Amino acid sequence: MDIKTGSYTGNGVDNRLITGVGFTPVLLITINVTTGAWVWKSSSMAGDLSLAMVGSATVTNRIQALNSDGFELGTDTSVNGNGTSYHYIAFAADTAVLDVGSYTGNGIDDTNITAGLTPVIVYTQGGSGVSALSGNWRNSTMAGDASFRIHTTAAHSTNRIQSLGANVFQVGTEAEVNENTTTFYYFAFAANSAQVSVGSYVGNNADDRDITTNPAIAPVWAWVKRQASANLRGVLLKLTPHAGGVASISNVGEQGDAIQVLNTNGFQVGTDYYVNGDDGGGASVNTYFYFTIAGPSTPATIPVLPTIPSGGGWAFLPYSAYQRYKGVRALTEALRNAKIGP
């Protein structure tokens, strides 16, 4: 799966093109570094509609289009405020790893939504009404039928995304995931040992703590949220353009002492309660759930052997190639000199 992370500075100009992505994204997420506002658009959203993960109906004038080499922005300050810094992550189409789509809510409990893969994480958000208050997400390591709001201080709740299964995820009656007649948009990632890792850990309040993901990957993106009902933020996020310091981004902007470093086999957290607290309550309150994504692996470079020169000149040939040539030449000379017939 091709992934591109990057940064840009807003200029407030409408129809602004951000290029250099290298492919047409099917999923794009932008992050306002100052406010922490996330906006996302998938190829399932028609026209210039996009959604703010902090909670609002689908609107125009934010992420307006997904183009062949990037994306187009409107003038809304959540994506293009003059002088404001933004990060983004873009995903190319790969149906084995990423599925984007939509469904219409019906308000019925235990409703199964067909997905194009078997997800280990699902995020879903409605485009209007009550459903647009906040997106909800669940990963495969969460027990019971609980899931999280992504961008609020609320703890995990039931009756939202209730389970993940083979080419399906199930939603309950909660309006934020299944409001009757409302269109919902989702993205889902499948297990992929090279690029996708979800899991959990128990906080211990130790600084500079390294979390090894399972499977161990070198993430370009990591998000974490605490299970308990106290000392909560929205999801804490760190991605490679923001890797220069120890800060990560939450629903209120930059947050220090949280996700500090993206490692070659996971990520590092500080002592902040939002990512690594220990208040003596044990795993029931100090469990943290994560979702990490790695960039595509770099193919091995296959060396190109030099063309065999005419008339000698072997100084630059690898020894193995020289030996093979000597063998072929000896055979040629033997055949040429062979006496055929009586």
149-158 pLDDT per residue, tens: 876 656 667 8
Q: Quick one: DSSP state of residue 215?
A: S
90-107, pLDDT tens digit by residue? 999 999 999 999 999 999
Q: CA-CA distance, 40 to 89, in Å (whole number)?
A: 10
Q: CA-CA distance, 241 to 310, in Å (whole number)?
A: 51
CA 189 → CA 90, 140, 195, 292, 334, distances in Å?
Answer: 14, 11, 10, 11, 63
All structural domains of the chain with their residue ranges? 3-294, 304-342
Q: What is the mean pLDDT of residues 184-200?
A: 94
pLDDT score for 178:
94
Model confidence band, residue 340 (pLDDT cutoffs 50, 70, 90): very low
Q: Residue 324: is its pLDDT beyond 80?
A: no
Question: H/E/C letters for each residue in 132-197?
Answer: HHCCEEEECCCCCCCEEECCCCCCCECCCEEEEECCEEEECCCHHHHCCCCEEEEEEEECECCCEE
pLDDT score for 317:
46
Q: Highest mean pLDDT range out of 31-35, 60-64, 225-229, 316-320?
A: 60-64
Q: What is the mean pLDDT of residues 230-251?
A: 66
Model confidence band, residue 53 (pLDDT cutoffs 50, 70, 90): confident
56-95, pLDDT tens digit by residue? 666 789 999 999 999 999 999 999 999 999 999 999 999 9
Contact 117, 188 (CB under 8 A): yes
Burial class (CB in 10 A: 0-12, 13-18, 19+), 216: middle
Q: Residue 328: is its pLDDT beyond 60?
A: no
**80: closest CA among 153, 145, 18?**
18
Angle at 150 between CA 13 and CA 18, to 5 degrees: 25
Q: What percentage of the chain has pLDDT greater than the value 70?
A: 75
For residue 159, give both structure tokens.
Answer: 């009756």
Contact 49, 59 (CB under 8 A): yes
Model confidence band, residue 314 (pLDDT cutoffs 50, 70, 90): very low
Q: What is the mean pLDDT of residues 226-253?
A: 67
| Number of alpha helices (DSSP H) and beta strands (DSSP E) in the chain | 5, 25
Q: CA-CA distance, 99 to 38, in Å (whole number)?
A: 20
**204: closest CA among 284, 281, 288, 278?**
278
pLDDT score for 227:
81
Q: What is the mean pLDDT of residues 176-191?
A: 94
> Is the pLDDT higher at 307 or at 22?
22
The residue type of 55 is G
Q: Residue 133: is its pLDDT beyond 70?
A: no
Other C-beta atoms within 10 Å of 34: how many? 16
pLDDT score for 193:
84
Burial class (CB in 10 A: 0-12, 13-18, 19+), 340: exposed
The residue type of 259 is I
Quick one: CA dihedral 314, 316, 319, 321, positive or negative?
negative
Q: What is the mean pLDDT of residues 35-56?
A: 87
Contact 197, 263 (CB under 8 A): no
pLDDT score for 26:
98
Other C-beta atoms within 10 Å of 245: how many? 11
Chain position carrying tokens 């790969």: 94
Contact 172, 110 (CB under 8 A): yes
pLDDT score for 106:
96
Q: What is the mean pLDDT of residues 34-54?
A: 89
> How crowded is the C-beta side of 67, counted as CA atoms within 13 Å?
15
What's the residue count for the chain?
Answer: 342
pTM, full prediction: 0.83
For residue 6, give both structure tokens.
Answer: 């990057």
Q: Residue 111: is its pLDDT beyond 50?
A: yes
Q: Average pLDDT over the chain, rounded to whole?
A: 83
Could you tell me how far CA 184 lies from the centroid of its own chain? Answer: 20
Model confidence band, residue 305 (pLDDT cutoffs 50, 70, 90): very low
260-284, pLDDT tens digit by residue? 999 999 999 998 888 888 876 666 6
> Is the pLDDT higher at 19 or at 298?
19
pLDDT score for 298:
54
Q: Quick one: DSSP state of residue 304?
A: P
For residue 194, give both structure tokens.
Answer: 């090279």
